[in-house]
């Protein structure tokens, strides 16, 4: 079974804090993605990575950065959390043009 593990299911942070969301895979897939999910807006791509130390901006990268130092781990960083970043964050992995596999999601609340 494919495993995509996100470090937290629920997180509460204060405005202005630096926040790290971690995603780890056990499948050796090249591509890793971060999406955010909001009611009525569906899934929106924040960033993705196609290799170690490589990254590409998605549709809504503002206020976020990412890090991929090892193939199995992809981190999403909120440099200075704001209330409009309260959302569900989903990590996904993909090899080539096959289907994507998702983690269980992290529900982040910024207060």
Partner 1 sequence: GNSVTQMEGPVTLSEEAFLTINCTYTATGYPSLFWYVQYPGEGLQLLLKATKADDKGSNKGFEATYRKETTSFHLEKGSVQVSDSAVYFCALNPPAGTALIFGKGTTLSVSS
Closest approach, Cβ 65 to partner 1, in A, equals 18
Cβ proximity to partner 1, 3 vs 18, nearer residue: 3
Nearest-approach distance from CB 100 to partner 1, in angstroms: 6
**Least CB distance from residue 48 to partner 1, whole Å?**
6
The CB-of-70 to partner 1 minimum distance in angstroms stands at 20
Comparison of 62 and 96: residue with beta carbon closer to partner 1: 96
Where residue 69 falls (left for φ over 0; alpha for ψ -120 to 50; beta otherwise) is: alpha
> Would you say 27 or 100 has its CB closer to partner 1?
100
Give dist(CA 88, CA 19) in Å, integer.
14
**Which residues of the shown chain bind partner 1 in the complex (CB under 8 A)?**
4, 31, 33, 35, 40-43, 45, 48, 50, 56, 58, 90, 92, 94, 97, 99-105
In this complex, which beta carbon is closest to partner 1, that of residue 78 or of residue 92? 92
In sequence order, what are the residues at sequence separation of 6 or more whose Cβ sits closer than 8 angstroms to the Cβ of residue 66? Answer: 34, 46, 47, 49, 55, 74, 75, 76, 77
């Amino acid at each position: 079974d494919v495993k995509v593990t996100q470090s937290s299911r629920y997180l509460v942070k204060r405005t202005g804090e630096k926040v790290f969301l971690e995603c780890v895979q056990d499948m050796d897939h090249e591509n890793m993605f971060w999406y955010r999910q909001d009611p009525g807006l569906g899934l929106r791509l924040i960033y993705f990575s196609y290799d170690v130390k490589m990254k590409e901006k998605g549709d809504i990268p503002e206020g976020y950065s990412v890090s991929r130092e090892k193939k199995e781990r992809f981190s999403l960083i909120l440099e200075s959390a704001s209330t409009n970043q309260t959302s569900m964050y989903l990590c996904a992995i993909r090899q080539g043009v096959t289907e994507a596999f998702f983690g269980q999601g992290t529900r982040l609340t910024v207060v």
